[in-house]
Each structure stands twice: as structure tokens, then as C-alpha cells.
Chain A
Amino acid sequence: MADHNTNAAQAESDKRYWAANVRIILVSLVIWAIVPFGFGILLRPMFSGITIGGSDLGFWVAQQGSIIVFLALIFFYAFRMNKLDREFGVDEE
């Protein structure tokens, strides 16, 4: 019976862990979409007044800025998730 209880508690904890993970993913993916598709392409005319080295913000985002944001997102996610793993005790070792 005790075993059953710990199993149920474990399943509950895993469920909360997964929900937290999905939240982090959603926030990250919103940024992932807004930067290249928004600032790099669709919203470029709105920010054409901001000049960067002979062109505008949108051009920089499309050619370099997006890549830097993608990098930051992946490292943020890895860092955040490893922390979450430890909080829920699901990390390895």
C-alpha cells in the first residue's frame, strides 16, 4: 500500500514537472517565432527608422540577430531545465 502511495505521488510530481517544462517551451517558442518572423521579416518596416551600420534593425536581425537569439534561447532552456530536473529530483546521478 505504501508502495502504491509513493507511486501515485511520483506520478503527480512527474505531471507537474511536465507542465512546468511545457510552459518554459511555450515561452521560448514565442520568442523563437517573434524575432525572425516578426522583427526580421513582417515588422521590419515598423522599425526601419532604427539604423545599424548602413542598414536597419530588420536587416541586422535577419542576417545576424536571429542567430544570436536562437543561441541564447537554447542555452537558457538547457540551464532552466537542468535546474527544474534537480528541483523535481528527476536529474541523473
Chain B
Amino acid sequence: MDQFTINLLFVGASFALYIGIAIWARAGSTSEFYAAGRGVHPVTNGMATAADWMSAASFISMAGLIAFVGYDNSSFLMGWTGGYVLLALLLAPYLRKFGKFTVSEFIGDRFYSPTARLVAVLCLIVASLTYVIGQMQGVGIAFGRFLEMDEDTAVIIGAAVVFAYAVFGGMKGVTYTQVAQYCVLILAYTIPAVFISLQLTGNPIPALGLFGETTGAEGSVALLTKLDQIVTDLGFAEYTAANGDTFNMVLFTLSLMIGTAGLPHVIMRFFTVPKVSDARWSAGWALVFIALLYLTAPAVGAMARLNITEQFWPNGASGEPVSTETIATDPAYDWMATWQQTGLLGWEDKNGDGKIAYFNDKNAETVAAMEAAGWGSENELTKFNRDILVLANPEIANLPSWVIGLVAAGGLAAALSTAAGLLLAISSAVSHDLLKGQLTPDMSEKSEMMSARVSMAIVIVIATILGMNPPGFAAQTVALAFGLAAASIFPVLMMGIFTKVNNKGAVAGMIAGLVVTLIYIFLHKGWFFIAGTNSFTDADPLLGTIKSTSFGAIGALINFAVAFTVSKMTAPIPQEIEELVESVRVPRGAGAAVEGH
């Protein structure tokens, strides 16, 4: 069986599984549609949250970002997991006690202000929509490659599958589908990593293999020592060293943490468990399942970097680089030809010596050494897109073809599960907060579900069109989504629970945090992302060393400061809101809140 058939089999079988689950778990009421009837076990909910949270960015991009930068990109690992501590301690139990369906509903009720609810809906829709576009784009690029179809067709197939199970199943269908998707994606991520870890270090657990020993020139040597050695020999920055700005790293990590805790589709998951104590456990279980991937990711990154570097320098940096003939004929190098077709990998024998020399040609010392050795002064590996690393990894390590098929299905599961969660967040914001909450409050349960499904269909169409014609700023939009969530949603939720900030304070805080963060991003990435309209770049930012991607934490700080100041100067919260805050703080009676629906 050829690779294409195997990929098709794996992807087809996983799709059939998801749709089957959705049919089995159809939603019959709004409570089932928005919150899965609040009957989801914490472990199940944790697994679904993990699949919901880990998107194409975690599965496809993250290990590649770590591989080519090393220690400095640990921010992704710490930031995207540390947010769960904030969720578990500061938000999840209280929002579950509040017992409604959406994040904006809490904001509207707690701050007794339809304006606050409207601003929250707006933040939520912008953040979620930009995120969804990135997922559809991921589906197109990665699976165009594996299923050998053009990107647009892949996006449409992906959209049709999400539509099928999100629209009919609602939160209930999505939750159980996400459990299946989690299993597929975690197997797809760890199995190749286990193989590679065994090959390199003999340790079957990649997370331990990363700090294990491998065979080097002089016998056994630590894997990281060997990696540091070979990359510095080639003129690149030392893998394990801190090379970037420390202050920016702290802010970036903090922004990712706060952003994680403010993303509506993640927060929504904690509405689906039966009790307040379950919401606390649920956040822990979510992190357990996320950690399985996140503890493996740094190993995947380091090992892939070592494998790739050694493929180009089979006898180490002091030996000869690989020849163009070997690349063309040796089956171990077949992956290069397949990925070259995608345009994401490129090489060129610039000095015509029949060798492909891969080194850092911005490092004068290395260039001199390479010239002296006769390999020319230019890096001949002209293009290596970081996003292909995880997908190409099993091919680079010469793993069996079923592993490659599994990785294809896993990447798709990661993208689709996140897309479904986001669609649900957007559609509940539109139908529950905008239509039922503001425009037609006397809507029946049945027509509310209908409008939720219709708005979901519209959002899928918009996301598909934008995913097929990406505005070319996937990375920026993800940064925007995090910045928005960190600067607007997280602070206002936290103040709603822990302080007595009033309606005017909340609205002013949200708007201030949002606007300042948006302006800072636009100043660096271009106004409304139009290329060339930016006044600053992330290499030389407006404020010290603070890059636009790290600004979310500052935006959150501004939100807090403005909210407290405005709240101090205006009327205190009314008695019934005081009582609402008191009741949210105590778990007793959360079950009763469900009966009220």
C-alpha cells in the first residue's frame, strides 16, 4: 500500500469516528447544546478541554519554534500551561457556581450593564474568529500535503466535517468528539517521539530522553551537550542558552498565561461539569492531558534539530556536508524531495561543489571557517519552514508509513477540535448574548437553538472563505487573539469575582485594555494588518524591548488600573450585586442553579 492510501485510510477512519460520535450524542435542549447538560465527568471534560485548547499551533508549530530557537522559546511551554493555574484558582469554580452558559452573560449580570455584555461579546467574537481562521488555514496547508489535494479542497472538507458534528451535536456532541480527537492527537504526537527517542537515547520516554545520553564522537554524551556543540560549530546560537531579552521573555510568558485564562472557548468548558468541586478538578485533568503533549514537545524539538543537522553533516561539523547526489538517491533523504514540492523546504548548491552546506552565514567567524574548508560562504539550505518540522519528523527519522498516516490524522484532529470549540463559543455569543439577551428576549428555547445553528453555519462559511484566502497574517492574528483575551476578558472576570468594581469601572477597563493593546499591535504589525503602515517593528519596538506579542500583560495591567480608578470615582455596586458576588464565592447550591434553567 502506498503512503497516500495509508494517509487516506487513517484520516477517513478518524472522520467516520467523529461523525459517528456526534450522531450518538445529539443535543436536544439548550442546556445540552451550550453546556452538555452539565453532566460531563471532570476527567472527560479535562480531556475535551485539552483537545479544545491544543490547536494546530500546539501540534504543528510549537516544537518547530522550540527546535530552531531553543531555550528562549520555552515561553510557549510555560505560558500555555501556566494559564491553567489562573483558570483553576481564579475563574473556573466561581463561573461554574454562577451557573449560566456564556462568559459575556456573567459579565453582563455581574456588572448589571448590557453595555458590558455587549463589549464582552465583541471581544469574544473578534478573538475567536481570528483564531478559527488560523485553524482552517492549518487544515489546508498540512492536509493538502498529506492527501495530495489542493489547499482549498482540504479546507472545504475540513469545514464540512466540523459543520456536521458541531451544528448537530452542540456542546454535547463536541465534548465527546473532542475526547476521541484527543486520543488521536496524543497518539499521533507521542508515538513518533517515542521511536525517535529510542533511536537517539535508548529511552522510550521522550521527556526523559531529552535529558538523557546519546552516542557521540567520544562515546556516550548528553543529548543536549551534543546538540549545543553541533549548532554552535555551525555558527548558530547555543541551544540551551538564553540569547534573547530577559524582560521581554518574562512579559511574553505572562501574556500567554493571562491570554490562556481569558480565552472564552476554554472558560466555557468549565460550565459543563456538574459541581463547583468538579470545575476545580477539571482544570487539573485538562492540564494533565495537555502536559502529556507539552512535556514531549521540547524533546521533539531538540531531537528533530539534532537529526536534521546530522543529516546535513553526517560526520559532524568538521566532516563533509551531504552531497546533492546523496540527497537525490539515498532513501533516507526522500523527505526532502516530498517537502520541496510544497515550497516550504528549499536548497541550492550555490558554489557548485556538489555539496549542500548548512550553516549560519550571518556569523562572520563561521563563514570564514566554511570558506577555508572549501564549502563556500553561503548557507545552501535556503528554506526550512519551521511549521513543517513536526509533520516531516517521522519521515526524517525513517519511521514506518503508518506512523506518517497517524500524524496526518493527529494534526487534523488538533485543528478540527479547536475549530469546533471556537465555533460553539461564537455561536453561543451570537444567539444567547446578542439575540436572546439583547434583541429578542422572549425567544423560545427551540428557536434559540435554531439561531445558534444558523449562526454557526454562517461563521463556518466566513472562516472557510478566509481560511482559503488567508489575509497572510496567521501569526499576527493569533497574537491578536491572545492580546485581546488577556487585555479585556481575563481582568474583568477576575475583578467581577474578587473585587467590588462597579459597572462603569468594568466597561472603562475593558475598553482601555482593548484599545491600548490593539494600538500597540497595529503600530508594530501595521494598521488593521495592512503591510507597510506600521511605524515600528518587533526588532526595535516602541517601548524598550517589549514586542507587540508580549503586550497583552501590559494591556491587562491597564485594564485593572483604569477599572479601579473609575470605580473609585463612581457609585458603588447595588445591594443585589453585592449578594451575587457573595453567592458566587461559595460553592453551596451550584446544583440548584442548574435547576433554574
Query: Which residues on A are within 8 Å of B, measured CB to CB?
Result: 11, 14, 17-18, 21-22, 25, 28-29, 32, 36-37, 40-42, 44, 52-56, 59-60, 62-64, 66-68, 70-71, 73-75, 77-78, 81-82, 85, 89-92
Task: Tell whether B61 is near chain A: CB-to-CB under 8 Å.
Answer: no
A56 to B295, CA, bound (A): 17
A92 and B587 in contact (CB under 8 A), knowing A66-B82, A67-B81?
yes
A25 B90 Cβ-Cβ under 8 A: yes
Instruction: Write 16 A-B pairs (CB below 8 A) sorted by A numbering.
Output: A18-B585, A18-B586, A32-B82, A37-B253, A42-B250, A52-B211, A59-B74, A60-B211, A62-B78, A70-B287, A74-B84, A74-B88, A74-B287, A78-B280, A81-B93, A92-B276
A51 nearest CB neighbor, chain B only: B222
A13 nearest CB neighbor, chain B only: B586
| Nearest-Cβ distance from residue B90 to partner chain A, whole angstroms | 7
Task: Tell whether B358 is near chain A: CB-to-CB under 8 Å.
Answer: no
B592 nearest CB neighbor, chain A only: A92
9 additional A-B pairs beyond A55-B222, A70-B82, beta carbons within 8 Å, are A11-B582, A32-B82, A44-B242, A52-B211, A67-B78, A70-B84, A77-B89, A91-B587, A92-B587
Which residues of chain B have C-beta atoms less than 8 A from A68's C-beta?
A: 291, 295
A42 and B89 in contact (CB under 8 A), knowing A54-B225, A62-B71, A63-B210?
no
Complex partner residue of A53 from B86, B222, B250, B280, CB under 8 angstroms? B222
Which residues of chain B have C-beta atoms less than 8 A from A29's C-beta?
A: 85, 89
Main secondary structure on B side of the interface with A: helix
Complex partner residue of B589 from A21, A82, A92, CB under 8 angstroms? A92
- Restricting to B390-422, which residues have a CB under 8 Å from any CB of A? none
A53 B284 Cβ-Cβ under 8 A: no
B89, B222, B587 — most chain A CB neighbours (10 Å) = B89
A84 nearest CB neighbor, chain B only: B587
Which residues of chain B have C-beta atoms less than 8 A from A64's C-beta?
A: 77, 207, 210, 295, 298
A2 to B585, CA, bound (A): 25
B78, B228, B280, B291 — most chain A CB neighbours (10 Å) = B78
Task: Tell whether B224 is near chain A: CB-to-CB under 8 Å.
Answer: yes
B78 A77 Cβ-Cβ under 8 A: no
Which residues of chain B have C-beta atoms less than 8 A from A14's C-beta?
A: 582, 585-586
Complex partner residue of B280 from A37, A59, A77, CB under 8 angstroms? A77
A81 B211 Cβ-Cβ under 8 A: no
| Nearest-Cβ distance from residue B224 to partner chain A, whole angstroms | 3
A81 B78 Cβ-Cβ under 8 A: no
A25 to B281, CA, bound (A): 15
Complex partner residue of A67 from B213, B227, B254, B295, CB under 8 angstroms? B295
Task: Tell whether B27 is near chain A: CB-to-CB under 8 Å.
Answer: no
A93 to B376, CA, bound (A): 75
Task: Tell whether B354 is near chain A: CB-to-CB under 8 Å.
Answer: no
Which residues of chain A have C-beta atoms less than 8 A from B295's C-beta?
A: 64, 67-68
B88 A77 Cβ-Cβ under 8 A: yes
A41 and B250 in contact (CB under 8 A), knowing A64-B207, A67-B295?
yes
Which residues of chain A have C-beta atoms less than 8 A from B222's C-beta?
A: 53-55
A32, A44, A55, A68 — most chain B CB neighbours (10 Å) = A55
| Nearest-Cβ distance from residue B22 to partner chain A, whole angstroms | 30
Which residues of chain A have C-beta atoms less than 8 A from B210's C-beta?
A: 53, 63-64
Which residues of chain B have C-beta atoms less than 8 A from A89's C-beta?
A: 588
A28 B587 Cβ-Cβ under 8 A: no
A31 nearest CB neighbor, chain B only: B85
| Nearest-Cβ distance from residue A89 to partner chain B, whole angstroms | 8
Task: Tell whether B275 is near chain A: CB-to-CB under 8 Å.
Answer: yes
A21 to B88, CA, bound (A): 13
A28, A62, A66, A81 — most chain B CB neighbours (10 Å) = A62
Task: Tell whether B212 is near chain A: CB-to-CB under 8 Å.
Answer: yes
B283 A74 Cβ-Cβ under 8 A: yes
A28 to B88, CA, bound (A): 11
A66 and B277 in contact (CB under 8 A), knowing A41-B253, A74-B287, A91-B588?
no
